[in-house]
C-alpha cells in the first residue's frame, strides 16, 4: 500500500496526514499521545482535505486533551521541512565537521560528531535554515524595491511565534520568521512583499489589500499555502 506522510497545521492544531489507497477520509485522535491523525485517499487534493479538517476543528478541540505542538528530537526518522517539501531526517554521528545535506530529494542528512544532543542538532538545523534565507531574501528585496518604489533600510531574521514577518514603518525595517525556510520560495516572496507593502501602508485596510492585489494578485492562494505546513 502506498503511503505518503506529512503534517499540516490548522488553527494551531498539528495533524499527521497519511495518504493511502483507501476510499474514505479517516480522522482519529490519540488522546494518550496527544496526536491527531488523518488517513486520506490518494485522489483527494489538499484543498478538499483542508476543508474537511476545518469543519472538524470544533470536534477535534473538544476531544483533543493534550497540546498539539510537535516536539522534535532531531533524530533519524523524523519528518522535517525545507522549501515546502518534506524530508526524512537521517542523523549520522561521526568524526567530522557538522553539516547538512539533501540526498535524493527525499532525505535530510545531518552529520555531527558523536555525542550530540537535541539542542546541538536543532541549532545546526536552524543555522542552516538561516543561511538559506540570508541568501534568498536579498534577491527578493532587490527585485521588489523598484517595483514598489520603496527602500528597505534594514532587514533581519528571527524566530517568531505568531507572525511570519513584521515591519517597522518609521525605521523602514522588516523582520522575517526563520520558519519561512520550511516553506516554498513563493511563500517567502509573499511575506517579503507583504512586509514591504507595509512601508507604503502600515495597516491592513483597503489600501493595503489593493496594493497586494495590484502587485501580487495570487497572494491569497499563497497565504493559504503558507499556513498549511507546520
Per DSSP bridges, beta strands 35-41 and 154-158 are unpaired
Of 63, 78, 102, which one is at a domain's C-terminal end? Answer: 63
Q: Which of 58-62, 92-96, 179-183 has the least mean pLDDT?
A: 58-62
Q: Show Cβ contacts of residue 84 under 8 Å, excluding neighbours closer than 6 positions.
A: 182, 183, 184, 185, 187, 225, 229
Q: What is the pLDDT of residues 213-225, one digit of tens each?
A: 999 999 999 988 8
Kindly state whether residue 77 falls inside one of the protein's structural domains. Answer: no
The reported pLDDT for the residue numbered 201 is: 93
The whole model's pTM is what?
Answer: 0.70
Q: In this structure, is residue 108 part of a structural domain?
A: no
* Residue 153 included in any domain: yes
Instruction: State the CATH number of the domain containing residue 144.
Output: 3.30.2010.10
Question: Domain containing 29: what range?
Answer: 4-63
Average pLDDT, the chain: 88
The dihedrals phi and psi of 37, each to the nearest 5 degrees, come to: -125, 145
How many domains does the structure of the chain reveal? 2
Kindly tell me if the per-residue pLDDT of 8 is higher than 90: no
pLDDT in tens, 14-63: 888 888 888 889 898 876 556 788 999 988 888 888 889 888 888 888 77
Amino acid at each position: 500500500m502506498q503511503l505518503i506522510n506529512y503534517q499540516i497545521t490548522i488553527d494551531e492544531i498539528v495533524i499527521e496526514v497519511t495518504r493511502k489507497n483507501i476510499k474514505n477520509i479517516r480522522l482519529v485522535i490519540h488522546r494518550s499521545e496527544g496526536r491527531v491523525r488523518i488517513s486520506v485517499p490518494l485522489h483527494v487534493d489538499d484543498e478538499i482535505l483542508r476543508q474537511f479538517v476545518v469543519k472538524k476543528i470544533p470536534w477535534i478541540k473538544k476531544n483533543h486533551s493534550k497540546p498539539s505542538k510537535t516536539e522534535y528530537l532531531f533524530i533519524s526518522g523524523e519528518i522535517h521541512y525545507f522549501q515546502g517539501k518534506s524530508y526524512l531526517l537521517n542523523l549520522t554521528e561521526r568524526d567530522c565537521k557538522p553539516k547538512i545535506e539533501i540526498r535524493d530529494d527525499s532525505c535530510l542528512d545531518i552529520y555531527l560528531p558523536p555525542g550530540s544532543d537535541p539542542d546541538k542538532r536543532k541549532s545546526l538545523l536552524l543555522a542552516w535554515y538561516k543561511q538559506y534565507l540570508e541568501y534568498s531574501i536579498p534577491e527578493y528585496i532587490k527585485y521588489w524595491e523598484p517595483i514598489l518604489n520603496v527602500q528597505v533600510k534594514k532587514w533581519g531574521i528571527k524566530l517568531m511565534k505568531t507572525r511570519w514577518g513584521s515591519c517597522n514603518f518609521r525605521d523602514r525595517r522588516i523582520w522575517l520568521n526563520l520558519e519561512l525556510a520550511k516553506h516554498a520560495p513563493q511563500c517567502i516572496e509573499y511575506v517579503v512583499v507583504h512586509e514591504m507593502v507595509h512601508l507604503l501602508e502600515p495597516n491592513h485596510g483597503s489600501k493595503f489589500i489593493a496594493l497586494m492585489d495590484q502587485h501580487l494578485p495570487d497572494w491569497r492562494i499563497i497565504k493559504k499555502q503558507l499556513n498549511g505546513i507546520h
